[in-house]
Amino acid sequence: MCTYFNTMDSPIGCLTLYATDHALTAILYQDQTPQPETATYMPQHPLLVECEQQLQQYFTGTRQQFDLPLAPKGTDFQQRVWQSLCTIPYGVCWSYQQLAISIGNIKACQAVGMANSKNPLSIVIPCHRVIGKNGTLTGYAGGLDKKQTLLALEQEHA
């Protein structure tokens, strides 16, 4: 299966988008580990073009939900956590405990946090909406400044 990529500038820095012929597989920040070296640069790939358009709409506040085929790679547990992340409404924050409860295991807060940190589809699978139980911002693959920017953007347009 071929993997394609393109980059885009955004208000939170350069993003690299990855897709196969059938689904988006990753959105990575500039300092994150890239996808396989076998990925082919293809800026006109239809899924990459659509992803960039939807992200631009998100950043301007005109899109609150993404409509893209997704295929993140992860364990069954990670997949469950990522699916649950997609149910967090735009402009709303959940705690790791709330996320653990949503997958049916209140004791899995730490494991949920680890799965959250492995989310390869930042922004589209909204891991930035998960914060500490006491309301503090906690780790984010792109850095806490980017997490704060995304949360502020959503608050402004919610």
What are the residue numbers of the active site? 127
CB 130 within 8 A of CB 108: no
**Do the bridges between strand 40-41 and strand 4-8 make them parallel or antiparallel, or are there none, so unpaired?**
parallel
Q: How many CA atoms lie within 13 A of 26 on its CB side?
A: 22
Phi and psi at 63, nearest 5°, equal -130, 130
The span from the CA of 74 to the CA of 69, in Å, is 16
Amino acid at 113: G
